Structure 1
Amino acid sequence: MSHHRETDATMHLIGRSLALLALLLAPFAAAGDDTVRLQLKWQHQFQFAGYYAAQAMGYYRNAGLKVDILPAGPGEDPVRQVIEGKAEFGVGSTELLLLREQGIPIVVLAVIFQHPPLALMTLKDDGIQTIHDLAGRKVMIEPGSAELHAYLRREGISADKFTLVPHTFDVQALLSGAVDAISVYVTDEPFALKEAGREYLLYSPRAVGIDFYGDNLFTTGDLLRRRPELVRKFREASLKGWDYAMQHQEEVARLIYDRYSRRHSLEHLRFEARQMESLLQPALIEVGHMNPGRWRNIAEVYAEMGMLRRGFDLQGFLYDPQPRDLTWLYSVVAGVAFLLLIAVMVAVRFAYLSGALRKSNDQRDKVAAALREKEERYRIFFMDSPDAYLIVSDGVFVDCNRAAEAMLGA
């Protein structure tokens, strides 16, 4: 019974040692499938083609990820969804910079559009021939379009020189004459004007040197700190999806139309894809590439508008896809953990053997004491017996008791 108790104690200590090793190695162990959510900044369309391709081609699945792609609707704030933990990743504008300065730990993982997709659109026959003709007019500008406001300011058109109208996200407001200009994505709304047979003009912030990034993939600093490997895998799989989407535009357009939304026709989706070529420039620039110098320039434009303090530090805002290699440190930690386990197991074994030896010695001492006690009793009985006893071994006298001594006169 005691042997079983010793064995159980040994196994218990070994089990605790293995649990300790598992705890030490847990940060480096491969996780199973992780479910994450990607919050888009608008409804399903080719604008987000890379994410659909990553899903369809199994890039997310191969990375151990299960991804839910969430569309946004008018009036919804996709960035807030991520900040509030309702999604792990999101697509946002360069106004993410402003949130970072406010203390919200936004981290930009990759840039999709190398040039701004936003522009102001007017009807060609509406008498507006230059951007300056917008003075005194009604203009719809969607939220998150700081580059358009900066564009107007640089052209000398301050906010008090035009009437800002809430955006309806419908080109009908322009076609009906309800407004004189609307903010649009050059990849999207112009198609509706083309379908309506109306000629239009586009005014881009790039005309005055405002060249913002667009559709930036981002997450929170908290997720990056807790799950750096998950963030890395999601980013890599997403960019792989973007590479595929831009090389297989027709296939992905049909994928979107068949699986995600028929809000846009196939021809509309193809139009988006063609327009996006000049914004992504995939033949010249790796999809997702970010230039810190460009981001500093964007920050300076915001500072010029009084929306951001000058000299804003980008530290921590831009994701580093190639951080310092800490593989050696992980190996050292794993090695130390392994040696610790061995040391604990050796100590447990030594303790077990020491206990067994002590137990054996104690048992031997008890037997010896019992024998001595029996011998003493026997000797008392032998010496004090009234009968005479002689002990002879092999014909040789060995011993006798007191009665024998008296009888022999010894």
Structure 2
Amino acid sequence: MKTEMFNCESNKTVWAITLTAFLVTGTTGCSTQKSEPEGSASETTSVSVQLNWYPEVEHGGVYQALIDGSYSDRGLDVEIKPGGSETPVAPELLLGRSHFAITNADDVVLFRAQGADIVAVLAAVQDNPRCLLVRSDSGVETFDDLSGMTLQCQPGRTFLPFLRQRGILEGVREVPYFNSIAGMVNDPKMAVQAYVVAEPLLARQQGLDIRTLMVSELGWNPYSSVLVTTGDLIRESPEMVQQFVDATRLGWENYLSAPDKANAQILAANKHGMTDEVLQFGAEQMRDLAYPSEKTKLGQMSLDRWQTLVGQMSELEVIDADSVQAEECFTTQFLPNE
């Protein structure tokens, strides 16, 4: 089972090489992106959305909008394209094989640093679900207690250089992460990279009493479950983009209040060991992540948040300084006025 439910990022080094090679060939969205998807204003418009991982709760709003008619009510015939461990999200968009995709805010920054005109149009998850999972009998109560622990983690994740810069991983032995919490079962000194929407439940199912350390509380908090498209499509088909954003936003609102039907659809589409119980747990955790306060508007994004993220990634040397402008990473033109 893929236990890291929300972590749908591909290895960033591999991705960067892939996208760089793609861009060098001169194949860009300008030459292959259709100015309009199939259909016309009076007919059903065919639209595809690429997922950045196998169908899971991070894609719940898209599946909900499909099954409750939010897309079809707007004349959109939507195809959801499942992803995998190395889904080339940016090339899929730039080649015009997909009109939209789901990814994470730090990936958008990486895409743009590599020259891809990918733009976020809605951020369903405001508080990033990234956490470190430790056993309660490990003696670790905060991030400051991690020295002497072994951390199973996946190279290429941008939260790791952030933790190193903060000194959090000083004295911590880092070993490869194999999409499993099995290492914690027999070793109280083993910590595991995790997402709060899945691994805590999986650990408790194995009889472990665990503690979650949320990385967002340290200040690393990229938007997650971000709906993106290309700058070309925004300029050429703003009406269609508006319809898709409106439907997807409604889908997320409905999913977060009643996820059962969409979860059944996700379960049917995911052939990688997913269970209904895990999806139910994940959807419950998602509500607080999507609505961290009573004032939160679903999907909202702010320049301040994007500037913080771009600044952090530049400081961490994940991207070259001044290679990305925060205001170009996103647009709120398709979101309701606050």
Give the TM-score taking structure 1 as reference length: 0.63
Deviations 1:72-122 (CA, angstroms, capped at 9, x unpaired): 223444444334444221111222113213321010011111111111112
> For the residues of structure 2 that align with 1:249 and 1:136, how far apart are their CA atoms?
41
**Structure 2 equivalent of residue 147 of structure 1:** 159
Secondary structure, counterpart of 2:77 in structure 1: strand
**Structure 1 equivalent of residue 224 of structure 2:** 214
- 1:57-76 aligned within 5 A: 57-76=68-87
Which residue, out of 246, 255, 269, partners 1:260? 269
Deviations 1:114-150 (CA, angstroms, capped at 9, x unpaired): 1111111122334544434544654333466323431
More helix by share: 1
Tell me whether 179-188 or 49-58 shows the greater mean CA deviation. Answer: 179-188
Amino acid at match of 1:197: G
Deviations 1:339-385 (CA, angstroms, capped at 9, x unpaired): xxxxxxxxxxxxxxxxxxxxxxxxxxxxxxxxxxxxxxxxxxxxxxx
Which residue, out of 83, 89, 107, partners 2:100? 89
Amino acid at match of 2:215: P
Amino acid at match of 2:269: Y
**Structure 1 equivalent of residue 196 of structure 2:** 186
Q: Greater relative contact order: 1 or 2 (C-alpha under 8 angstroms, separation 6 or more)? A: 2
Deviations 1:183-208 (CA, angstroms, capped at 9, x unpaired): 21111121111111101222222332
**Structure 2 equivalent of residue 100 of structure 1:** 112
The answer on whether the counterparts of 2:301 and 2:332 sit within 8 Å (CA) in structure 1 is no
- 1:266-345 aligned within 5 A: 266-281=276-291, 283-308=294-319, 309=321, 312-321=324-333
The count of aligned residue pairs is 292
Amino acid at match of 1:208: L
**2:171 is the counterpart of 1:168:** no
Q: From the superposition, tell whether residues 69 and 107 of structure 1 become closer, same or farther in structure 2 (CA, over 3 Å).
A: same
Secondary structure, counterpart of 2:327 in structure 1: coil
Gaps of 5+ in 1: 1-28, 324-410
**Structure 2 equivalent of residue 49 of structure 1:** 60
Q: From the superposition, tell whether residues 129 and 219 of structure 1 become closer, same or farther in structure 2 (CA, over 3 Å).
A: same
Q: CA deviation at 1:156?
A: 4.7
Q: CA deviation at 1:226?
A: 2.7
Q: CA deviation at 1:316?
A: 3.0
The answer on whether the counterparts of 1:74 and 1:169 sit within 8 Å (CA) in structure 2 is no
> For the residues of structure 2 that align with 1:182 and 1:253, how far apart are their CA atoms?
26
Amino acid at match of 2:119: V
**Structure 2 equivalent of residue 373 of structure 1:** none
Larger of the two Rg values belongs to structure: 1
> For the residues of structure 1 that align with 2:42 and 2:50, how far apart are their CA atoms?
23
- 1:233-248 aligned within 5 A: 233-248=243-258
**2:137 is the counterpart of 1:125:** yes
The answer on whether the counterparts of 2:93 and 2:229 sit within 8 Å (CA) in structure 1 is yes
Q: CA deviation at 1:285?
A: 1.7
The answer on whether the counterparts of 2:133 and 2:194 sit within 8 Å (CA) in structure 1 is yes
Deviations 1:36-66 (CA, angstroms, capped at 9, x unpaired): 2212222222222111110001111122222
> For the residues of structure 2 that align with 1:67 and 1:163, how far apart are their CA atoms?
45
Q: % of aligned pairs identical? A: 26
Q: CA deviation at 1:278?
A: 1.0
Secondary structure, counterpart of 1:315 in structure 2: helix
Q: CA deviation at 1:246?
A: 1.4
The answer on whether the counterparts of 1:147 and 1:212 sit within 8 Å (CA) in structure 2 is no
RMSD: 2.9
The answer on whether the counterparts of 1:173 and 1:179 sit within 8 Å (CA) in structure 2 is no
> For the residues of structure 2 that align with 1:201 and 1:314, how far apart are their CA atoms?
34
Gaps of 5+ in 2: 1-39
> For the residues of structure 1 that align with 2:289 and 2:125, how far apart are their CA atoms?
5
Give the TM-score taking structure 2 as reference length: 0.76
